Amino acid sequence: MSVRAIVLSGYGFNSDPELAEAFRMAGAAPVRLHLSDLLADPALLSGASIVALPGGFSFGDHLGSAQVVANLLRTRLAAALSEHHARGGLTLGICNGFQALVKSGFLPWPESGERSVTLVHNESGRFVDDWVRVSFDATGACAWTRGLSPRELPVRHGEGRFVARDAAVLERLEREGLVALRYEGRNPNGSTGGIAGLRDPSGRVIGLMPHPEAFLAPENHPGRRRGFDGGTGLAFFENSVKAAAAAL
């Protein structure tokens, strides 16, 4: 039985095709699902092992990045998403999807739903497209990042600067080990503590600014002619599919 991965699309999300392709390459059966279809029938989540929110500019980020989708997650999809989580499903948000997960309160503590961290405009005030080195929580606590060696991934965002509401939140994140990805060396957006991605305490929910789904072939890497450390972004998806398959 194959792992079913729902990749949301529509309303200005734009990285859903390559995210679906990443899951396909990792061995899952991806389905792109328009958010309007899901709003019409939230039960559509019930057959999925993985729910993924892609990058993009949902609703233009006009009211703040992922602001509208975050509100929809809180007001219209909270029950379906919680049920998916409680069932042992995996949840992923990349870039705009990460912004949606934190702004809806689904990360870092899905059970409380409290909004305690967010992503704001880059310190430079500018959109940035570059490749950055990130390290992962490789311990095994996170289903998505276990065993991953540091590697370079593309980032491309205008609002990726991670901030916590206060020092206590930050301290708790670190204490509970919820920082799943950290920028190494260069911090492209001024994120507090170089935080590039967060997981929830179960290790099944993750959100991150870098784009592993844009690094599915070694040739995507800017050092393709010189060789480079670490693998592609595919390992990240293979991890999740393995974890989801084990739970089937």
Partner 1 sequence: MRIETSYLDPALDGRAASLSASASVRLGFPVRVVLVDAILVDRPLPSGPCVDAFVDPVVQVAEVDAWAAERPALAGWSTLIEVAWRPGVTDTLALTAREALEFALGRDAVGGVRFSTARQFLVYGELGPEGREGLAASLHNPLVQTAMVLDAAEWAAGARPPTAHAAPGVHDPAEPAWFDLAGMDDAALERLSAERTLALSRGELAAIRAHYADPETRRRREGAGLPPLASDVELEMLAQTWSEHCKHKIFNADIECRAPEGSRTIRSLFKTCIRATTEALAPSKPFLRSVFTDNAGVVVFHPGQALCVKAETHNSPSALDPYGGAITGIVGVNRDVLGTGMGAKPIFNTDVLCFAPPDTPDDEVPEGLIAPRDVLAGVHRGIVDGGNQSGIPTVAGAFLFDESWLGKPLVFCGTGGVMPEFLDGKPSWEKEIRPGDLAVMLGGRVGKDGIHGATFSSQALDESSPVGAVQIGDPIIQKRMTDFLLEARDAGLYRFVTDNGAGGLSSSLGEMARECGGVRVDLDACPLKYPGLSPWEILVSESQERMSLAVPPESLAAFMSLAALRGVEASVVGEFLDSGLVELRANGGKAVGLLPLDFLHDGLPVLSLKADLRLDSRAAEPVPARADWTEALLGILAEPNVASKECWIRQYDHEVQARSIEKPMVGIRRDAPGDGAVLRADLGNFKGYTVTHGICPRYAEDDASRMAACAVDEAYRAHVALGGDPERAALLDNFCWPDPVESEAVPDGAAKLGALVRACEGLSEACLAYGLPLVSGKDSMKNDARAGGRTISSRPTLLVTLAGAIDDIRKASSTDFLEAGELVYLLGATPGALGGSMLERIDGAARRARNVAGPRYGRAPVPDFAAAKALYATVHKGISGRMLRSCHDLSDGGLAVALAESCLGGRLGIVARVDGLPGLDPGAPDYAARALFAEDPSRFVVSVRRVDRERFETTFAAHPFRLLGVLEDGPRFEIRRGGEALVSTTLDALESAFKTPLAGGGRR
Catalytic residues, which ones? 95, 211, 213
What are the helix (H) ranges across 93-213? 96-103, 167-175
What are the helix (H) ranges across the chain? 16-25, 35-40, 67-75, 78-86, 96-103, 167-175, 234-247
Residues 137-166 that bind partner 1 (CB under 8 A): 154, 156, 158, 161, 163-165
Pick between residue 155 and residue 204 the one whose CB is nearest to partner 1: 155
Do residues 129 and 155 lie in contact, with contact meaning Cβ atoms separated by under 8 Å? yes
Whose structure tokens read 């491309």?
Answer: 156
Report the nearest approach of partner 1 to the CB of residue 18 (Å).
4
Determine the size of the site formed for partner 1 (CB under 8 A). 66
Mask of contacts with partner 1, 86-105, x by CB under 8 A?
A: -----------------x--
With left for phi above 0 and alpha for psi between -120 and 50, is residue 109 left, alpha or beta? Answer: beta
134: tokens are 């990130």
Mask of contacts with partner 1, 24-53, x by CB under 8 A?
A: ----------x-xx--x-------------
Distance of CA 123 to the CA centre of its chain: 21
Do residues 67 and 102 lie in contact, with contact meaning Cβ atoms separated by under 8 Å? no
Pick between residue 85 and residue 221 the one whose CB is nearest to partner 1: 221
Whose structure tokens read 């006009």?
Answer: 62
Report the nearest approach of partner 1 to the CB of residue 161 (Å).
7
Look at residues 49, 133, 63 and name the one whose alpha carbon lies nearest to residue 92: 49
- Expressed in percent and rounded to 5, the helix, strand and coil fractions of the chain are 35, 25, 40
Pick between residue 96 and residue 239 the one whose CB is nearest to partner 1: 96
Among 11, 133, 177, 201, binds partner 1 (CB under 8 A): 11
Report the nearest approach of partner 1 to the CB of residue 219 (Å).
5
Kindly state whether residue 75 participates in binding partner 1, applying the rule CB under 8 A: yes
148: tokens are 């991953």
Q: Helix or strand or coil: residue 151?
A: strand
Report the nearest approach of partner 1 to the CB of residue 76 (Å).
7
Pick between residue 1 and residue 125 the one whose CB is nearest to partner 1: 125
73: tokens are 């997650």
Kindly state whether residue 228 participates in binding partner 1, applying the rule CB under 8 A: no
Query: Interface with partner 1 by CB under 8 A: which residues?
Result: 9-12, 14-15, 17-18, 21, 34, 36-37, 40, 55-57, 59-64, 67-68, 71-72, 75-76, 103, 115-118, 120-131, 154, 156, 158, 161, 163-165, 190, 211, 213-217, 219-220, 222-226
